[in-house]
Structure 1
């Protein structure tokens, strides 16, 4: 994973200028929610309160997907991705639950202004 690729949800980066728009870039990640997390999540839904295991799974998914977005952008020759958007979905059925996360943005080359 490259730390050299800057990510931002903004359409611009303060102190940088976009020198080239490369292409739309995306990363798709699917994560299984294990049975224990699902069971404890059900209890938490019933009794109320925050669900730490689900929050941790969402955080883990976000970090992994953004790292994948960086790799994709770098493979295109970009050093930044602007207008990053994250979309979360849950896929469930057959007693299984999966978290689906898509990160998209515009891969660009930037230079210090």
Structure 2
């Protein structure tokens, strides 16, 4: 399935619009990762563990969105956005990754 950030499929005719599809994933950061990340931030460098976890959460959200689009009969998702939210408070140090776009069927 094509997943694009553009609002159209260049050179393709959209046959049907199926509407909004979304996907979410929660990423809970634990205390040890937080402490290690803080040390890395002080001495410099990238916090690769967080980057890996964010990538994993984003992939889960994308897969969820793709499955919902497929259930609607779509073969592409256009206008895709990826957002990240820090859910502090009672959720602790949790990050939510949300993806959304418009499910469409295009002529192949």
TM-score calculated relative to the size of structure 2: 0.89
After superposition, the C-alpha distances for 1:7-54 in whole angstroms (9 at most, x for unaligned) are 111112234221111111111211211222111111122223211001
Q: 1:95 to 1:78 in 2, by over 3 A?
A: closer
- Equivalent-residue separation in structure 2 for 1:95 and 1:8 (angstroms): 31
Equivalent residue for 1:90, pick from 76, 86, 106 = 86
Q: Tell me the alpha carbon deviations over residues 30-82 of structure 1, each in whole angstroms, 9 at most, x when there is no partner.
A: 12112221111111222232110011111111111111110111111211100
State the aligned residue count: 108
Give RMSD over aligned pairs.
1.7
Aligned with 1:9 (options 2, 5, 11): 5
Structure 1 residue runs without a partner (length 5+):
none
Which structure 1 residue ranges, 4+ long, deviate > 4 Å from structure 2? none
SS of 1:16's equivalent in the other structure is: coil
Which residue number corresponds to residue 62 of structure 1? 58
Unaligned runs of 5+ in 2: none
Matches within 5 A, 1:38-57: 38-57=34-53
Q: In structure 1, how many angstroms separate the alpha carbons of the residues matched to 2:23 and 2:70?
A: 12
Higher strand share: 1
1:81 to 52, 67, 77: 77
Instruction: Using structure 1 for the length normalisation, give the TM-score.
Output: 0.85
Name the SS for the 2:88 alignment partner.
strand
